[in-house]
Amino acid sequence: MFWTFVATVICGLGAAGIALGIRAVTRNRAPKWLIPVFAGAGMLGYLIYGEYAWYDHKQSRLPTEAVVVSTESKGIYWRPWTMVYPYVTAFSTVDTKSIARDTNNPNIIRFTLYRFEQKITDTVSHRIHIINCATRELVPIGSDGTPRVDNLKTLNGSDVLYSTVCAG
């Protein structure tokens, strides 16, 4: 977050420098208000760029065993440009190295699901899940190690999470 702030300030100063250059070229005939307008536009432009580039940047830093299984894009009303072109605000990945079949029932698979979310600071959470490949039922494991059947979810056969975990 600190480096984002520093980069935003530098972009604002750079854009203000461009406005100062415009004023110098026009022998100060360009209005003075051009400088803060350019500075604000430079900072806003960098922040918008950072929002849209976040998903690609995070995805490029994932290890090869991490498979993206879902993304969430939504428009935010206080960012009106996202209503026209929403950006990815969260995504989930499966760690394929964590996939383990039950020895008694090979249709039961245990795996770790990671969720990355773009907020003021990036958040990452992980949770162990169990999936029954025969019935496509997904159940998260609670912190005490027991299945949370009250959060049972049935996946579609075309779900990327289902095909990633149950394909092997």
**Whole-model pTM?**
0.84
Taking only the tens place, the pLDDT of each residue in 66-123 is: 999 999 998 888 889 899 999 999 999 999 998 998 888 888 999 999 999 998 888 9
Q: Which domains occur in the chain, in start order?
A: 1-61 (no CATH), 64-168 (2.40.128)
The per-residue pLDDT for 168 is 61
* Strands 87-95 and 123-132, sheet pairing: unpaired
